[in-house]
Amino acid sequence: MIRYTLQCDRAHRFEVWFQNSAAFDEQVTADQVSCPDCGSTAVEKSLMAPGVPKKAETVGPREFFNQMRAFRSHVMNTTEDVGGSFPTQARQMHEGEIEHKPIRGNATPEEVRELKEDGVPIAPVPPEPPSEN
């Protein structure tokens, strides 16, 4: 979506959202865009101020590692470690052969690739962050 500030031939300014710039061109050419004040279809784009995104909040390294530790701790406390049978169990759950439950375990890079190719939803558990951070 794109928002344009438009102006009619009587100097009324208004804003309208369009799917994209091509949609704007099509609708204006077909006289489908009219001024909400006077109804004129003689409209054109008006000069607009650029949209400047707000600065994203940043997190320092210490807070980042604290968040990573908390996430890792949550994963470790709420999942069952199934070790090397992880690829088999994850696939069986995905295919409905066994009951779904939160598991974690080990898989080779090849097994991970095959699971992802088959649409099995998996994600790596982040490593423990360094203790000095």
Beta bridge partners of 5: 15
The predicted-structure confidence for 4-46, as pLDDT tens digits, reads as follows: 889 999 999 998 988 888 889 999 999 999 988 999 999 999 8
Q: Residue 8: give the domain boundaries.
A: 2-45
| Together in a domain, 106 and 69 | yes
- 53 lies in some domain: no
Q: What is the model's pLDDT at position 113?
A: 93
The predicted-structure confidence for 103-128, as pLDDT tens digits, reads as follows: 999 999 999 999 999 999 999 988 88
- 54 lies in some domain: no
Q: What is the model's pLDDT at position 78?
A: 93
Spatial contact of 6 and 46, defined as CB atoms under 8 Å apart: yes
| Together in a domain, 70 and 99 | yes
Q: What is the model's pLDDT at position 133?
A: 47
| Together in a domain, 6 and 36 | yes
The predicted-structure confidence for 54-102, as pLDDT tens digits, reads as follows: 776 777 888 888 888 898 999 999 999 999 999 999 999 999 999 999 9
| Together in a domain, 113 and 66 | yes
Tokens encoding 26: 């099509």
Q: What letter would DSSP give residue 17?
A: E
Angle between helices 109-117 and 86-94 (to 10 degrees): 0
Q: What is the model's pLDDT at position 32?
A: 92
DSSP labels, 71-111: HHHHHHHHSEE-GGGHHHHHHHHHTTSS----EE----HHH
